[in-house]
Amino acid sequence: MAGPVPTVQGRIFISYRRQETAYPAGWLYDRLADHFGAGQVFKDVDSIQLGDDFVEVITDAVGSCDVLLVLIGVEWLRITDEQGRRRLDDSDDFVRLEIEAALVRKVRVIPILVDGARMPRADELPDTLAGLVRRQSLELSPSRFEFDTSRLLRVLGWTLAEARTEQGETGPKVAGGRKAPYPNAPGGQDLAERSVQAGPEHTASMVSEAPGTPSEDQPSPDQHKPPGRRHRRRSRRAWVLVGAGAGAALILLVVAIVVALPTTRGGIAVNSAPVTSSAGIRLTDLRAVSPAYPPEVGDTITVSYSLTNTGNQTIKLTATFVGARNATDDNKDSNPINEGRVLPPGQTVRAQGQIIADSAGTWRLWPCYQLNGLYCPDEWQEFSVQVK
């Protein structure tokens, strides 16, 4: 049974091919409409009137949404028009226009792989759609529709909550009007933390290279002043002392920032000893970190690991992910990545997953993969995390 899903209001646009994924799109529409409200989910652009610029209408419709779901079936790349031309190669194709508009307008794009479809490669797409391949996908299979849609609802809930925060401009700002990354978002760090990680050597190099600072190869501005002026050129030793003083001040500032930070990025204890599965897949480099230790409700726990094919045959992973169960044993698995990744003998793939700790208590997490239709055949190196 899946855990509670956020019901944040937000617009969701479903992009699909009627001749291939009409039924899955209909099922998905009904489930999303039940959860988020029918007025928040768009499945077709049926309101284009005679004389309207359909490119403009599609661009505006997609741009007004918070998330674009791209349903990709097995034949999605190969579907052709009446003349036998591939639909995606037509610059006026509706699906292509929808994805292009979302990528240009920075709308969140989530590919939905329907019934065993794979993610396309960049070289299989028009240049304007190449950004799609960098978007993390979710699977949707009729045989496990409830499980897959429950997982999608969780992702959409947190995505829409994040979109609402961004649109409300409630987040901290950085120079140039850009929003600072969320502290608990995957890969997010605040400016102070990045300054600390840069280290005193980096900050010192920035100071020494600041414009206007004299050096042996750069004469002091006072050398160019007319004779008779009483300004004295600082000696090299004076500049050294000034630089040392500035460096000391910066070090003190960095120390002050570290002390002032309410939390630091915390390591979580795991068993990182290498383990090899019966399928010849070797697990190494298991790590887990969170913004604080112990993690607090709302924090993101990032788990990373490596998988190596130690066998003699090439294998094809369906996906990798991080298994997770909260204190009430609700399924909180991370989104799958490395879909369709081929591993020849001896090759290693790096895997990672982010788990949002949305409730307190003892969580169980473990690295996982899907192979030959089996989900997580080896629940190895499971570890527990106490969320406050």
List the chain domain ranges.
12-167, 190-210+238-261, 266-387
Higher pLDDT pick, 4 / 338? 338
DSSP letter assigned to residue 215:
B
What pLDDT digit, counting tens, does each position of 38-68 carry?
888 888 765 567 777 877 878 788 888 899 9
- Band (pLDDT 50/70/90 cuts) for residue 134 is confident
What pLDDT digit, counting tens, does each position of 319-353 carry?
898 989 999 988 888 888 988 899 999 999 999 89
Residue 283, beta-bridge partner list:
275, 307
Task: Provide mean pLDDT across the span 96-101.
Answer: 93
CATH of 266-387, one of 2.60.40.10, 3.40.50.300, 2.30.30.100, 1.10.260.40: 2.60.40.10
- Ordered DSSP codes for 73-95: -TTTTT-B-TTS-BGGG-TT-HH
Among 204, 238, 245, 208, smallest CA distance to 222 is for 238
What pLDDT digit, counting tens, does each position of 223-274 carry?
444 444 444 444 555 454 555 565 555 555 544 444 333 333 457 888 888 8
- Band (pLDDT 50/70/90 cuts) for residue 188 is very low
Among 313, 293, 291, 317, smallest CA distance to 302 is for 291
Residue 56: its pLDDT value, please? 80
- 71 vs 25, 35, 95, 156, 168, CA distance in Å? 7, 19, 10, 15, 29
Residue 182: its pLDDT value, please? 29
Give pTM, 2 decimals: 0.45
**Using CA atoms, how far apart are residues 99 and 127, in angstroms rounded to an integer?**
12
| DSSP H helical ranges for the chain | 18-36, 54-63, 94-104, 145-167, 191-208, 236-260
CATH topology of domain 12-167: Rossmann fold (3.40.50)
Residues 270, 285 contacting (CB under 8 angstroms): no
Token pair 């933390």 in the structure block, residue: 193
Mean pLDDT (the chain) is 74
